[in-house]
Structure 1
Amino acid sequence: KPAVCKGEIQPLSLLSQKIDKEFYKNFADVLRSSCVTLHKRTAGVDAVSGSKVSFGLVRMANIDPLFYVAQALFALGGPEGVHIHLCVYHARFPLVQRSAIENMLDTAFNRRVAEQAVYALPSVRAALNAHPQKEHIFIVLASPVCEVGRDWDADWAVAEPSSVRALIQLAGRVQRHRRIPATEPNFLILDTALKYFKKKTGAIFSRPGFERGEGSVYHLSSHWMHDVLRPEEYQALTALPRVAPQPYNVWQPQHKLADLEQACMRDSLLPPPVAPPNRRGIKRAFVPRVNMAALCWQYPHANLTGVLPQEQPFRESTEKENTLVFLPNEETEDLSLYREEQQKNTKRDTLYIPVEASRWHTVTLKCGPNISVWGVADLNTLLQEQAENLDMPLSVCARRLATVTVRQNTQGWLYHHALGFATNHD
């Protein structure tokens, strides 16, 4: 069938720069240019205002860089004659905020309805009416949470690469409902990951991604997409690189990203070759590999014990985490940040310990011209509404719905209601 998602590699020229505010500004400028290019190729027309409108996804690999890039993008603003409506979406929002964002986006990216229905949605109509420009770009700047479990149909997408699997997942959110064949590329792949400019050595496409450290057979010789992707793997983006890969005997796991993923999957799902006996004819001891899924079907009775989950934890986290919660002041109902601490071996309830003012910083969002926040409601407003709907005290509602999980960090965290939480690196 004709491809509904066609890819193209977006060059990057940030080699000589270190990661600082100027870098994020330049990176945001590349993203903005990419979004404007794709908007011009795919925009529809709002029958009421006559404006050209498009809806797109920008997927970044990690939350902390996303936070700083979002700040830079807001400060940069939109080009003359174009208004950008930007929604930041990732896992480090308080639950009630994340739920509200997902509900809005699930509605906006439902394109099974009539063509003009999306422009009548309250969040979209209000945004179009509030700004006079005739070009409107609705952008979701998201972490990998946008790849899986979201039934969205976007006009276009921009991806920071981490794996071929991630590219395929994100491509599944472009023209998902309408299935209109693409006449021009509607999916831009950044030529490398932002992480490359931070360290340039070691595993770049990991956490997320399949790549491992230097010295491993699963380490790429280049981290540029124009080197590690074959044209047929991105010019028409489908699941073929995963379900119909190159023949095993021509895999190049150190030179091609798709081959690296296939080799990792093969070594995990299949048992290792039997080691030959030593000179005395004694069989060598079997030492299982890390993350060896083959053990589950080789030794099915092992699934009746807790041994395998202990040896191979599902999504094992190497970093400690904190659960934070916004709780209202009993007199003013202003929200303050607390840290949850579970009491072990006692009957006491969860402790709520105030987070020192020096450890969390509410950042100021500086907006340039022609850009605005799209559809992120104030946390206090959302909690008030939910407390009323659920008929429960505000403090009880907050303990349930104003929690967020963040990485443990001695320097604390940054927060803005439109950007969520990020680790403070200052």
Structure 2
Amino acid sequence: MLRLLTSDLVLDEPDDFGLEDLPALCRIVNWAGMLGSRVLLSSATLPPGLIAALYDAYVAGRQHFNEVHFPHNNETGVVCAWYDENHSEVSLIHDQQTFTQACKRFTDKRLKTLTNNEDVLRKGQIVATKALPADTEEGTLGRDKGNERDQFIFKSVANTISQEIDRLHNAHYVKNESGQRVSVGVVRMANINPMIEVAKKILSTSPPENTQFHFCVYHSQFPLALRSYKESRLDSILTRYDENAFWAQPEIAKALSDSPVTNHVFVVIGTSVVEVGRDHDYDWAIAEPSSLRSIIQLAGRVQRHRKQAPAKPNIVVLDQNIRALKGERVAYCKPGFETPELPLSSRKLTDLVSTEIANISAIPRMVEPTMTKRDFMKDALPDNKSAANSVSSFVIQEHRAIRTALNVIGGDINHEQFYNSPKPASLWWDESAPIDWSAEFIKQTAFRESAPHEEFTLQLSDTGELNWGQIDQTSLPYSFVKQNNRFTTESFSLAKGNCWWFDKSAQEIFHYFAEKMDGEIESVSQKLGVIGLRESKSDRPICWAWHEQFGIYQGD
């Protein structure tokens, strides 16, 4: 808050925050208004519900500022401005209705410009994943992964992805002067552990004849040095404004010179880290669905720099995610907008979208769909009174989830017949329930509240030995305590025709950074080998699996 006294507030991509973080986001905007600061929201995909709530929060705070600094001035307006690459507007806004109308006018202009000037760069297609046998028992994600049922699901998803990788490559490759065909694609999965299982099965399957696959597994659970190295190389390779620079990249040039095969397919298999904050340009993408927001984010990484309109679909979305294939009642969550209280009516994506996948754009996020009272009303079933009616639309689901997280649905009179969040963000500034200095509300809606983590370090000794451990800070000087028993180093053999895109070992990467930092290898690895991992909820510690290319995950 002290910074807000003398600074303005810039929120970059505020719509990327999870629903659980929106109350805290609204609070800081409310405080910015109260302290007289200006607020800038920077995003191309702001939902109307979020914009309206942030405006209300700011105005409520600004009223306190005006009462103190301008007690004799009846002016209650707020200066608002809208900017994009084509237009800019500034207006003095006095009420929510005028603000909403101004937002809609600006959005309509932007949509008209975008639809008139842009080619369709991201064409999507939904593909089916083989269903489970009828006699397969249901289970729960993350449990008994080694059983026959789960392995069938992982194998089915892997087979579908492998087939689509080959098909997408043949439709969207680029050629070098020697006639070798290259494409770079991304496979985005929802969660780390299922992703590793699927990735292992993909890498255990040989590619078609005259084809070589180059794989990079990318997620958040790598030691800092290893993740940083991958990200720096991906940033360089996937900056594709200049196609000549792409062919000159060391990994691309070496792969083409080392293998005479015609087709080289470079594939990133990752989680949401591939789509958030990465300025990468891929030829094609495959997505395990979790929300329309994540599909739009991923699509923004296809033809991001070159902007070449494809003749065929360049984005494939699986018709079900792994949770749905496992038969879980709430499937499109973590990440996603489905909850037990806000259910979807189907697990199949073909039932949940209409035209949003054929031409993937930010429009479904920017324009709120027509929603009815039923979409917010409580389920009429007697055993489900605490939940809203199910809906059959990803778009409606996301916008109603945002509205529910931010506001009291139905107002003060009729809200009993509607499903309402127990802690909507508007409670903070709503005059009918003034709790704007309640520490308890802050505690219950904390920003980025997560499970406790413990920090580990992958250390490279002067003798070249890798050890997992923790830094003991209970006494000086700090000491490195080995914890190798908490990590199982796994081995893995690639099928013929598959290889690793970046094949540097952990030792080589640590030496690379030690040379750049001009430091001792043991000291550098202690600084750059760190990683925070989830603590066990029980007395029994979690034992992690570790592989230089797959990262850290929970093994069998």
- What interval of TM-score do these two structures reach, taking the shorter chain for normalisation? 0.7 to 0.9
1:80 offset after TM fit, Å?
Answer: 1.4
Q: 1:95 aligns with which of 199, 224, 244?
A: 224
Specify the alignment match of 1:416 in structure 2. 547
**Kept in 2: contact 1:19–1:197 (CA 8 A):** no
Q: 1:166 aligns with which of 283, 289, 294?
A: 294
Specify the alignment match of 1:281 in structure 2. none
CA distance in 2, matches of 1:10, 1:210: 22
Q: Given the alignment of the two structures, is residue 266 of structure 1 paired with residue 403 of structure 2, yes or no?
A: yes
Deviations 1:23-66 (CA, angstroms, capped at 9, x unpaired): 4333222111111111111111011x311111111000001111
Identity of aligned residues (%): 29
1:273 offset after TM fit, Å?
Answer: 3.6
Q: Which has the higher helix share?
A: 2
Q: Please, which moves more after superposition, 174-183 or 9-18? A: 9-18
Q: Given the alignment of the two structures, is residue 382 of structure 1 paired with residue 509 of structure 2, yes or no?
A: yes
Q: Given the alignment of the two structures, is residue 401 of structure 1 paired with residue 531 of structure 2, yes or no?
A: no
Q: Given the alignment of the two structures, is residue 362 of structure 1 paired with residue 495 of structure 2, yes or no?
A: no
Q: 1:30 aligns with which of 147, 160, 175?
A: 160
In the alignment, residue 361 of structure 1 is paired with which amino acid?
T
**Aligned residue pairs: how many?**
405
In the alignment, residue 381 of structure 1 is paired with which amino acid?
E
Distance 1:351 1:165, change over 3 A: farther
Q: Given the alignment of the two structures, is residue 316 of structure 1 paired with residue 449 of structure 2, yes or no?
A: yes
Q: Which runs of 5+ in 2 are unaligned?
A: 1-117, 137-147, 376-389
CA distance in 1, matches of 2:514, 2:344: 52
**Kept in 1: contact 2:132–2:152 (CA 8 A):** no
Distance 1:310 1:178, change over 3 A: same
CA distance in 2, matches of 1:233, 1:195: 22
CA distance in 2, matches of 1:21, 1:210: 27
Specify the alignment match of 2:347 in structure 1. 223
Q: Over aligned residue pairs, what C-alpha RMSD do you find?
A: 2.6
**Kept in 2: contact 1:29–1:73 (CA 8 A):** yes
CA distance in 2, matches of 1:197, 1:392: 49
Q: 1:255 aligns with which of 385, 392, 395?
A: 392
Deviations 1:324-369 (CA, angstroms, capped at 9, x unpaired): 2112345x231111135665xxx65666432243x32111111111
Distance 1:401 1:293, change over 3 A: same
Q: 2:212 aligns with which of 57, 65, 83?
A: 83
CA distance in 2, matches of 1:109, 1:240: 26
Deviations 1:218-256 (CA, angstroms, capped at 9, x unpaired): 1112111011111x1110000111111321238855211
In the alignment, residue 13 of structure 1 is paired with which amino acid?
K
Distance 1:290 1:173, change over 3 A: farther
SS at match of 1:170: helix
Q: Given the alignment of the two structures, is residue 194 of structure 1 paired with residue 322 of structure 2, yes or no?
A: yes
CA distance in 2, matches of 1:130, 1:19: 40
Q: Which has the larger radius of gyration?
A: 2
Specify the alignment match of 2:421 in structure 1. 289
**Kept in 2: contact 1:376–1:417 (CA 8 A):** no
Distance 1:250 1:349, change over 3 A: farther
Matches within 5 A, 1:70-219: 70-113=199-242, 115-198=243-326, 200-213=327-340, 216=341, 218-219=342-343
In the alignment, residue 389 of structure 1 is paired with which amino acid?
K
Distance 1:83 1:174, change over 3 A: same
Specify the alignment match of 1:58 in structure 2. 187
Deviations 1:125-157 (CA, angstroms, capped at 9, x unpaired): 111112221011110001001111000111110
CA distance in 2, matches of 1:251, 1:29: 40
SS at match of 1:29: helix
In the alignment, residue 155 of structure 2 is paired with which amino acid?
K
Q: TM-score, normalised by structure 2?
A: 0.68
Specify the alignment match of 1:239 in structure 2. 362
In the alignment, residue 125 of structure 1 is paired with which amino acid?
A
Distance 1:274 1:29, change over 3 A: closer
CA distance in 1, matches of 2:309, 2:437: 49
Q: 1:5 aligns with which of 122, 126, 150?
A: 122
Q: TM-score, normalised by structure 1?
A: 0.88
SS at match of 2:316: strand
In the alignment, residue 532 of structure 2 is paired with which amino acid?
T
**Kept in 1: contact 2:535–2:542 (CA 8 A):** no
SS at match of 1:233: coil
CA distance in 2, matches of 1:165, 1:350: 44
Deviations 1:73-128 (CA, angstroms, capped at 9, x unpaired): 11113121111111110001110110110111111111111x23212100111111
Distance 1:228 1:399, change over 3 A: same
**Kept in 1: contact 2:215–2:499 (CA 8 A):** yes
Compare relative contact order (CA 8 Å, sep 6+) and give the higher one, 1 or 2: 1
